[in-house]
């Protein structure tokens, strides 16, 4: 997968959210977005996911323009601003409902993703009983279960302990080695230095590459 962000600017009312952003992203790499809250990291992920369209400029995926030739990336795993699921269902049931939309993940794929994220697929607790860390892990499982070509991860280690963070880092490396294109947004420079092949600083909607 090859993604081109070409001179993208995004205004929301009178606020400049993304300011003339140009990037090239390729499969088999992890791209880090580093910046404080409100810098534009999450909006850039929303742009790549097709959830917002640019005011000017274009995003193309394998030569097809997002918002014109396609509404959303064809193979996407998205973890954005804290996961949310149906509170009255178990984690397994929530992911089964999600998987029914595209029907590309088998029941065993779902169970395996839950285990890999550090949860028990047979846990009978409802989602409303989950801790913040468990909710984050279920969100990560939802990203993994369909083995997507593009993974967009917004602060994926939020609410995780050290062991959980290390577990997620290993999953990111595995997905990269599988050939996925991963964009990882975080305020944590240490996390990005461990995981990202290229790191971009995001500030007031502008994006520039950080030198190693």
- Both tokens of residue 143? 């990203």
Quick one: pLDDT at residue 210?
86
Q: Give the pLDDT of residue 97.
A: 96
What is the Cα–Cα distance from 114 to 93, expressed in whole angstroms?
Answer: 11
| Distances 171 to 10, 45, 83, 131, 148 between C-alpha atoms, Å | 32, 20, 18, 21, 13
Burial string for 75-113 (b: 16+ CB within 10 Å, else e) reads bbbbbbeebebeeeebbbebbbebbeeeeebeeebbbbb
- Residue 105 is encoded by which pair of tokens? 């993940």
Cα separations in angstroms, 196 against 18, 33, 40:
22, 9, 18
Instruction: Report pLDDT for 92.
Output: 97
Give per-residue pLDDT as tens, 57-86: 999 999 999 999 999 999 999 999 778 899
Give CA–CA dist 187/18, Å, rounded: 17
State the pLDDT at residue 20.
96
Phi then psi for residue 64, to 5 deg, are -105, 135
pLDDT value of position 38: 86
**Which letter does DSSP use for residue 157 in this model?**
T
Regions of the chain where pLDDT drops below 70: 212
């Amino acid at each position: 997968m090859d993604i081109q962000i070409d001179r993208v600017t995004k205004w929301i009312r009178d606020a400049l959210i993304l300011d003339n952003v140009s990037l090239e992203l390729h499969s088999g790499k992890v791209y880090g977005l580093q910046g404080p809250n409100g810098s534009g990291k999450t909006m850039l992920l929303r742009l790549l996911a097709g959830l917002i369209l640019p005011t000017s400029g274009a995003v193309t995926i394998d030569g097809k323009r997002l918002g014109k030739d396609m509404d959303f990336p064809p193979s996407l795993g998205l973890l954005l601003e804290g996961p949310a699921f149906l509170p009255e269902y178990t984690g397994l049931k929530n992911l089964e409902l999600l998987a029914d939309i595209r029907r590309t993940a088998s029941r065993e794929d779902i169970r395996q993703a839950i285990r890999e994220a550090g949860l028990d697929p047979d846990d009978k607790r409802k989602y409303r009983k989950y801790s913040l860390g468990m909710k984050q892990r279920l969100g990560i499982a939802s990203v993994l279960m369909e083995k997507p070509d593009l993974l967009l991860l917004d602060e994926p280690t939020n609410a995780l302990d050290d062991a959980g963070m290390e577990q997620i880092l290993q999953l990111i490396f595995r997905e990269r080695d599988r050939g996925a294109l991963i964009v990882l947004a975080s305020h944590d420079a240490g996390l990005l230095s461990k995981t990202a092949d290229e790191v971009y600083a995001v500030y007031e909607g502008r994006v520039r590459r950080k030198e190693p």
